[in-house]
Structure 1
Amino acid sequence: MQFDPNNLEQSAIYKLLTGSIIPRPIGWISTIDENGINNLAPFSYFNIVGEKHVMFSTAKSKGNNKDTLNNVLSNNEFVVNMVTEDLVEEMNNTAAELAPHEDEFLHANLTPIASSIIKPNRVKEAKISFECKMIHQYTLPNEYNNGATMVIGEIVMMHFDDNVLLDNYKINLETYKPISRLAGSNYAKLGELFSIKRS
């Protein structure tokens, strides 16, 4: 089978891409609005893009920007909190569509903790968090009126729980236990690992 994306419904494209480009890391993005209200939401269109840069992408919801994007565009700051096995339920709760004045930290019973350099709070329960300042954003418009906006941030401070660190700045996967996104309602743990030397 082959598919021309220009001849497919949006839902079909979404299912084909999110079902095949897996697993995807989850960026749990915390931001703050101009009134000091916290926002926290998970994004699986997320990854590292350089030595100290990360990106996440968010589509419009019913033709409008999500609160996360509005906050980042307002103050150029966000925190990436990494999702682990023990925080799956809380992460899922922050995916709920709340009004802009509602705090997802409260909704998910999470603890906001002050960042070191930027204004948005970190998730205290997260084992790893990255404070970021936006350096670039670009919107990809499309015919569905939900064009995705990609945000690139520079990491200005990194926070690691001592329990996930090994010698020489390596990460202990047995204690980190990250979660990845698959398609639909499916997520994945690390599972069986294997190693292969680069050619």
Structure 2
Amino acid sequence: MSAKRDGQGPHTHFDFSTLSARDRYKLLIGTVIPRPIAFVTTVDEHGAPNAAPFSFFNCLSADPAIVAIGVENHADMKFKDTGHNIRMTEEFTVNIVDDAMVDAMNVCAVPFPSDVDELGKAGLTAVKGTHVGCPRIEEAPASLECRRYITLAVGKSREIILGLVLGCFVRDGIANPLTKHVDQRKMDAIGRLGGHGYSRIRDQFDLPTMSVAEWEKRERGEALLRAETD
């Protein structure tokens, strides 16, 4: 049984074929929320590091272990540093952003020239990669070292890069080495919202998926309750 929420009313339809790219963007980032943030570290062909945050990011598969990031290049399709570096080296590392890293992440979003070390400007510590040549960020609660799996060209200036996760680093005390269960509250990760908004994950609840038998039992109980109150 699905309940109608108080205040739930009619919906406004937006036909994306009639909207500008900017308006589509505003609707997408305002409705697909919260989005996890990939704080991506790469190196160029000369070994110089780069760091930049991306909120078009998610985990798409566990077998194989695949993550995806959406990278917007310049309008003339000249690659920004992250896209260029992944093309040159085939590698990148996704660092998860916790609440303590928010300001440093924001510093790395500043459009510095390509020869500027964003990690140094943000006061973050680069740790030599294990499976890849690019560094991970020591302050991050978790990092995923990836090899480029495939790149999809989307539209005039955007690419979707799929990465095969080769290894994962999780801060001690967050993941159980035996069960591999992660304490998500200790991760203290942040998510991206629309505009300049961000969210925290500290307000959580558990909701186990029901079996058919459990759902039927619940329906019978609710039917009996309705019969008693009628």
Structure 2 length as normaliser, TM-score?
Answer: 0.81
Contact in 1 for aligned 2:91/2:148 (Cα 8 Å)? yes
**Equivalent residue for 1:59?**
72
The number of equivalent residue pairs is 195
How many Å apart are 1:193 and its aligned residue? 1.5
How many Å apart are 1:35 and its aligned residue? 1.6
Alignment of 1:129-140 (within 5 A): 129-140=143-154
Q: Are 2:164 and 1:151 equivalent residues in the alignment? A: no
Rounded to whole Å, the distance in 1 between the matches of 2:140 and 2:53 is 13
AA partner of residue 149 (structure 1):
E
Alignment of 1:108-147 (within 5 A): 108-141=122-155, 145-146=156-157
Alignment of 1:95-110 (within 5 A): 95-110=109-124
Rounded to whole Å, the distance in 1 between the matches of 2:101 and 2:60 is 25
Secondary structure, aligned partner of 1:72:
helix
How many Å apart are 1:68 and its aligned residue? 0.1
Matching residue within 171, 177, 180 for 2:188: 177
Contact in 1 for aligned 2:185/2:202 (Cα 8 Å)? no
State the Cα deviation string for residues 77-114 of structure 1 (Å, max 9, x = none): 00000000110000111111111111111121111110
Contact in 2 for aligned 1:59/1:149 (Cα 8 Å)? yes
**Equivalent residue for 1:46?**
57
Q: How has the CA–CA distance of structure 1 residues 62 and 108 changed in structure 2, closer, same or farther, with 3 Å as cutoff?
A: farther
Q: Are 2:208 and 1:197 equivalent residues in the alignment? A: yes
Matching residue within 173, 179, 182 for 1:168: 179
Rounded to whole Å, the distance in 1 between the matches of 2:19 and 2:162 is 29
Contact in 2 for aligned 1:23/1:188 (Cα 8 Å)? yes
Structure 1 length as normaliser, TM-score?
Answer: 0.94
AA partner of residue 53 (structure 1):
I
Contact in 1 for aligned 2:188/2:202 (Cα 8 Å)? no
What 5-or-longer segments of structure 2 have no aligned partner? 1-11, 211-230
**Equivalent residue for 2:87?**
73
How many Å apart are 1:174 and its aligned residue? 2.6
- Where relative contact order (Cα < 8 A, 6+ residues apart) is larger, the structure is 1
Secondary structure, aligned partner of 1:47:
strand
Q: Are 2:33 and 1:22 equivalent residues in the alignment? A: yes
Contact in 1 for aligned 2:147/2:166 (Cα 8 Å)? yes
Contact in 2 for aligned 1:37/1:102 (Cα 8 Å)? no
Rounded to whole Å, the distance in 2 between the matches of 1:35 and 1:75 is 10
Matching residue within 199, 204, 207 for 1:188: 199
**Equivalent residue for 1:2?**
13
How many Å apart are 1:2 and its aligned residue? 1.5
Q: Percent identity?
A: 29
Rounded to whole Å, the distance in 1 between the matches of 2:99 and 2:66 is 25
What 5-or-longer segments of structure 1 have no aligned partner? none
Rounded to whole Å, the distance in 1 between the matches of 2:113 and 2:105 is 17
How many Å apart are 1:115 and its aligned residue? 0.7
Pair member with larger Rg: 2
- 5-14 vs 81-90, which deviates more? 5-14
How many Å apart are 1:139 and its aligned residue? 0.6
Rounded to whole Å, the distance in 2 between the matches of 1:110 and 1:192 is 28
